[in-house]
Amino acid sequence: MKVDVILGLQWGDEGKGKIVDVFTPRYDIIARFQGGPNAGHTIIFGGKKFVLHTIPSGIFHRKTLNVIGNGVIIDPLILFREIEKLREAGMEPQENLLVSKRAHLIMPTHRLLDAALESAKGDSKIGSTLKGIGPTYTDKYGRNGIRVGNIADHSFNARYEQLKAEHLEVIRHIGFDFSKHLLDALTFDAYEEKWFESIRRMKDLKIIDSEIFLNTSLDQGKSVLAEGAQGTMLDVDFGSYPFVTSSNTITAGVCSGLGISPHRIGKVYGVFKAYCTRVGSGPFPTELKDQDGEKLRIGGNEFGSTTGRPRRCGWLDLPALKYSIMLNGVDSLIMMKADVLNLFPTISICTDYKSGDEITASFPFDLCDETLQPVLREMKGWNSSLDNCKEISEIPGTLADYIRFIENEVGLPVDIVSIGPDRLQTLQR
């Protein structure tokens, strides 16, 4: 068997969580391969809403196993908060959750470092979620990190204290006063205490060699779906660097983040919104800073699932979408939030970029180039509700035209159209 992949093609928040949840009944195992609690994946069903940060979005289906892979970084405190919320809702996530020994731990001082480094950047700050992502991956690649499999080591506390001391030295050097800085409304000491409490509770989880488990499961004919976090435009190599996250969000990240050979990658599903959003700083060629942008933000409830920050909104960007499709080897497209465009009599779509006299559909080295302008094509909107569409054949002709235009431009089929946040508001073509 092969590993299918669902990942985001834009700047994150495309609706990956909803689609993974919809696909879960088809799979035996769902696995997160990168990122950490910077992710916020929303799942809505039966009138209830859940936002997952570290736990894979297949957790609501008891028969499906959910793996937090080696490429993910874990803040145990945030993980247990998620587990508690699910338990309050009557679930037993510990039963079908598996955690890789090789996943790295986000320490409280990684979060402080994140805040200190961001504050030092001033106006050029990344707009990080401040969950400690950059500093934890830095320690991983700098070969200083602490992994889930180290929790039971005798030397765990000593390694923690040594790394903490190194972090605090950098924080002091930056001149960041963390005495008043709160981590999720807690002082550093209170956060650290709860963090250690959670570390102790980690021993009750199923901690495994996830790369062996996944490959053995595939050999036994089990089906696996890899769930991406963030989006391709936030990939550390190919995104709008330096305004990116610190992991490989693309299909290639599945191999290193789960221990899967490239031969074992199956179908790649690319999720994109019918428009674009971005949260945090960095270039965004189709951004709308006018009333249309506000209309998308309000209509799409575009406020961060993790931080609550308003998301920046703009028209669909085809050069960026084509670049993402190429990088990921996408086989099938899934278009989300078509309903948010209901209110627009006309809809624009970016077909090319213009820089000076040059018009190009290629994705540039530096998206931060201030002279870069989107070339927009205006299309007629459907300007009506999609609430009564229960089958794809019932969508307005103008929406079908919009989808056909995208398909022709990118050369791939849009196989699923999402017209609302609920599981059921999903049309298969």
Indicate whether 40 belongs to the interface with Mg ion (CB under 5 A). Answer: yes
Please report how close the Cβ of residue 97 comes to ligand IMO at its closest, in angstroms. Answer: 18
- In the list ligand GDP, Mg ion, ligand IMO, none, the entry touching 340 (Cβ below 5 to 8 angstroms by class) is ligand GDP
Q: Where are the beta strands (DSSP E) in 133-230?
A: 206-208, 224-227
Extract the tokens encoding 428: 């298969």
Residue with tokens 């998206």: 367
Please name the residue ranges forming H helices in 175-317. Answer: 188-202, 210-219, 252-258, 291-299
Please report how close the Cβ of residue 16 comes to ligand GDP at its closest, in angstroms. Answer: 4
Specify the residue, 64 or 230, whose C-beta has the smaller distance to Mg ion: 230
Site string for ligand IMO, 52-81 (x = CB under 6 A): ------------------------------
Q: Figure out which of the listed residues 83, 105, 133, 335 binds ligand IMO, where binding follows CB under 6 A.
A: 133
Cα angle 181, 184, 188 (rounded to 5 degrees) comes to 45
**Is 4 annotated as catalytic?**
no
Q: Figure out which of the listed residues 34, 100, 198, 230 binds ligand IMO, where binding follows CB under 6 A.
A: 230
Between CA 41 and CA 136 the distance in angstroms is 21
Site string for ligand IMO, 305-334 (x = CB under 6 A): x-----------------------------
**Cβ partners under 8 Å of residue 65, min gap 6:** 28, 29, 30, 58, 96, 97, 98
Specify the residue, 33 or 213, whose C-beta has the smaller distance to Mg ion: 33
Q: Figure out which of the listed residues 126, 330, 389, 417 binds ligand IMO, where binding follows CB under 6 A.
A: 126
Residues in 370-429 at the binding interface with ligand GDP, rule: CB under 6 A:
418-421
Residue with tokens 């789960």: 258
Which of the stretches 216-224, 233-241, 320-328, 337-345 binds ligand GDP when contact is defined by CB under 6 A?
337-345
Q: Does residue 319 contact residue 362 with C-beta atoms inside 8 Å?
A: yes
Q: Does residue 395 contact residue 416 with C-beta atoms inside 8 Å?
A: no
Q: Where are the beta strands (DSSP E) in 71-185?
A: 73-74, 97-100, 104-105
Which of the stretches 35-43, 99-107, 184-192, 408-416 binds ligand GDP when contact is defined by CB under 6 A?
35-43
Please report how close the Cβ of residue 51 comes to ligand GDP at its closest, in angstroms. Answer: 7
Q: Does residue 355 contact residue 371 with C-beta atoms inside 8 Å?
A: yes
CA 330 to chain centre: 17
Residues in 268-327 at the binding interface with ligand GDP, rule: CB under 6 A:
300-301, 305
Specify the residue, 144 or 307, whose C-beta has the smaller distance to Mg ion: 307
Among residues 145, 54, 137, 148, the alpha carbon closest in space to that of 103 is found at 148
Which of the stretches 28-36, 214-222, 335-343, 347-355 binds ligand GDP when contact is defined by CB under 6 A?
335-343
Q: What is the DSSP letter of 246?
A: S
Q: Figure out which of the listed residues 10, 11, 16, 74 binds ligand GDP, where binding follows CB under 6 A.
A: 16
**Is 41 annotated as catalytic?**
yes
- In the list Mg ion, ligand GDP, ligand IMO, none, the entry touching 339 (Cβ below 5 to 8 angstroms by class) is ligand GDP
Scored b (16 or more CB within 10 A) or e, 328-367 reads: bebbbbbbbbbbbbbebeebbbbbbbeeeeeeeeebbeeb
Catalytic residues: 13, 41
Residues that bind ligand IMO (CB under 6 A): 8, 11-13, 38-41, 126-129, 131, 133-134, 229-231, 234, 245, 279-280, 305
